[in-house]
Amino acid sequence: MEWKDEALILGIRRHGEGSVIVEAMTRGHGRHLGLVRGGRSAQMRSVLQAGNSVQVTWRARLDEHLGNYAVEAETLRAAGLMQTGLGLYGLQTLAAHLRLLPERDPHASLYEAALVMLGHFDEPRKAARLMIRFELALLDELGFGLDLTQCAATGATSQLAFVSPKTGRAVSRAGAGPWADRLLALPAFLSASSSLEEGDASPLEQGFRLTGHFLARNVWEPRGIRPPDEREGFMRSVAKALT
């Protein structure tokens, strides 16, 4: 069996004397592992770095086998990402999120979103907004999507200010009534009725608290795993950059 695809390197681990097993997020074949023979050579080390975009050819006798990768460099951005805390933690957070997906299960939209984000880690506010949106998209792809389009209580599509921590549905200011203090805040930049102009104020802490709540309840805790420390590092890096 054989296929070719574009891919984002997520990580590698040693295998034998000179080979490595590469974990990559591919556009059409999902998160996929493959053996790269000679992957520890000086020539390949710079290519097989997390954050780099490559072209991969995967070959195996049977589909369920690990298989071998032939890798060609495309965009080598790893060195630049590792120069700042925002880039390093952002990349590590992305990789941790993508590892929540089933192996070999295609998620082309998340692949595209990851590539977009990798190009904006030099813009703290934009990077944070993109990460929050990525986490919402991840929840949706995992089957736990939120409904932020209309108020669960009134059906209104404007003045959406809260999210129910139980249902994941938006609630308007009028619909929240005396229960507002029990709801999660909905940042204005996530509301379908709000402008998304670059100059808008972004309550980023509220956004990360919102996505973190549903990731913890629906993904991390049921799987018995901790929230990635890299995510906390990314949020600290954003906060530091914006002060």
pLDDT at 197: 45
CA 242: distance to chain centroid?
Answer: 21
Q: Where are the beta strands (DSSP E) in the chain?
A: 2-15, 19-26, 30-36, 53-59, 68-75, 160-163, 170-172, 184-185
pTM metric for this prediction: 0.93
pLDDT at 28: 98
pLDDT at 203: 85
In 3D space, the residue among 43, 92, 59, 85 whose CA is nearest the CA of residue 32 turns out to be: 59
Three-state SS at 188: helix
Contact 234, 81 (CB under 8 A): no
CATH class as words, domain 2-76: mainly beta
Q: Supply the DSSP symbol for 147.
A: B
Q: Supply the DSSP symbol for 211.
A: H
Q: How many CB atoms lie within 10 A of CB 9?
A: 22
Q: Which residues contact 43 (CB under 8 A, 6 or more apart)?
A: none
Rounded Cα distance between 190 and 209, Å, is 13
Domain limits, the chain? 2-76, 81-148+186-242
Return per-residue pLDDT of the chain as tens, 243 residues.
999 999 999 999 999 889 999 999 999 999 999 999 999 998 899 999 999 999 999 999 999 999 999 999 999 999 999 999 999 999 999 999 999 999 999 999 999 999 999 999 999 999 999 999 999 999 999 999 999 999 999 999 999 999 999 999 999 999 999 999 999 999 989 975 444 444 443 689 999 999 999 999 999 999 999 999 999 999 999 999 998
pLDDT at 192: 57
